[in-house]
Chains A and B, each alone.
Chain A
């Protein structure tokens, strides 16, 4: 009996480890095809990537209301959409947090924030938190630049928006802009992955 108990504990522990290990390393790599989704927008409508017939790709950004890093980037996210939506690369913002843990990220708060900051792009709720783990997002803000190809939406860049979270005027490399510009010019993206500090996605 005791042995069985031990065995159960062993199995439990190993599955647990396998699980936590998996959640860290999983997610898209450059060149993978990203899943589409149907998520609720702040206007109550459902939004999918496939709705955008004319888009050349997407700037998918996992972001939220409550993370200081995400907040520091809000204006720059709006600027990205202003600059690139008309060129075929709209911003699609997805809020990945569990709103029971972070009530400040619930749909009402998302609506209020989008209005206050003048979001020009969809701000979607990852209800049930099914989408961000597939992308492999770990934090906010976390950008996935997708290019529409015949095979599907191919991941072209993963990471930060630029290299200065503190001060938009002191940025020296605009990673996302450089990547989108490269795609628009049919050139190779120079920096395909970057790291930045962000707030853990709340589960």
Chain B
């Protein structure tokens, strides 16, 4: 009897393993599909957990992260300033990341054409995560959620701005980090 019970248990476990294995395969296929799709669009799309390491790098660089969208007029207005500082301070170890909050349905119709048209040199990723009430305060406790918003950080210091920048203002803030 004991043996039968053990056998039963064993069966259960192996059965469980099978299910897990299947799930894994399915998720891998899904990942592959997603990757294929993204490469066709040439756009990296993340949820907050995926984005988090990209906006919390610990290295010797100065990082500028700008949250924007093609529909956001003040964001689009200041984008050239971010492009300009990337160009100007790249050799000083500045890295710019543009995080688009465009609606996913507009990735292909608006965001990707915008990146191409304006020949954006900075890295652009899209954040697609509807649980904004989780990730907005996680990015900064004082962020109301209005964009544009910008983080400037290095491994020691981190500043958050819920505002529009002029190029001069942006450079002033960056120079504090670079000097």
**Overall SS of chain B's interface:** loop
A133 interface residue per 8 A CB criterion: no
Flag if A200 contacts B136 (CB, 8 Å): no
Option from B103, B133, B142, B148 in Cβ contact (under 8 Å) with A200: B148
Q: A195 vs B135: C-alpha distance in the bound complex, in angstroms?
A: 9
Residues of chain B with a CB closer than 8 A to A166's CB: 103-104, 130
A92 interface residue per 8 A CB criterion: no
Interface size on A, residues (CB 8 A): 27
Interface centre among A25, A72, A139, A195 (most CB of B within 10 A): A195
Task: Given A24-B162, A160-B132, A194-B133, answer yes or no on A199-B146 (Cβ-Cβ < 8 Å).
Answer: yes
Interface centre among B74, B146, B162, B163 (most CB of A within 10 A): B146
Flag if B133 contacts A160 (CB, 8 Å): yes
Task: Given A68-B71, A195-B136, A197-B101, answer yes or no on A163-B146 (Cβ-Cβ < 8 Å).
Answer: no
Interface code A67-90, partner B: CB below 8 Å = 1, 0 otherwise? 110001000000000000000000
Interface centre among A163, A166, A194, A199 (most CB of B within 10 A): A199
Task: Given A138-B162, A200-B148, answer yes or no on A195-B72 (Cβ-Cβ < 8 Å).
Answer: no
B46 interface residue per 8 A CB criterion: no
Option from B142, B145, B164 in Cβ contact (under 8 Å) with A196: B145
Flag if A139 contacts B132 (CB, 8 Å): no
B8 interface residue per 8 A CB criterion: no
Task: Given A24-B162, A166-B103, A200-B74, answer yes or no on A195-B144 (Cβ-Cβ < 8 Å).
Answer: yes
Task: Given A24-B162, A166-B103, answer yes or no on A138-B146 (Cβ-Cβ < 8 Å).
Answer: yes
Interface code A140-173, partner B: CB below 8 Å = 1, 0 otherwise? 0010000000000000000110011111001000
* Interfacial residues of chain B within 126-179, with CB under 8 A of chain A in the complex: 130-133, 136-137, 142-148, 162-164
Flag if B130 contacts A198 (CB, 8 Å): no
Q: A77 vs B93: C-alpha distance in the bound complex, in angstroms?
A: 47
- Cβ-closest chain B residue relative to A24: B162
Flag if A163 contacts B147 (CB, 8 Å): no
Task: Given A138-B146, A166-B103, A200-B148, answer yes or no on A195-B162 (Cβ-Cβ < 8 Å).
Answer: no
Q: A175 vs B132: C-alpha distance in the bound complex, in angstroms?
A: 13
A-side interface residues toward B, CB under 8 Å? 20, 24-25, 67-68, 72, 138-139, 142, 159-160, 163-167, 170, 175, 194-202
The 6 sampled A-B contact pairs (Cβ below 8 Å) are A163-B131, A166-B103, A166-B104, A167-B130, A197-B146, A202-B73
B-side interface residues toward A, CB under 8 Å? 69, 71-74, 101, 103-104, 130-133, 136-137, 142-148, 162-164
Counting from the closest, the 3 A-B pairs by CB-CB distance are A195-B136, A139-B146, A138-B144
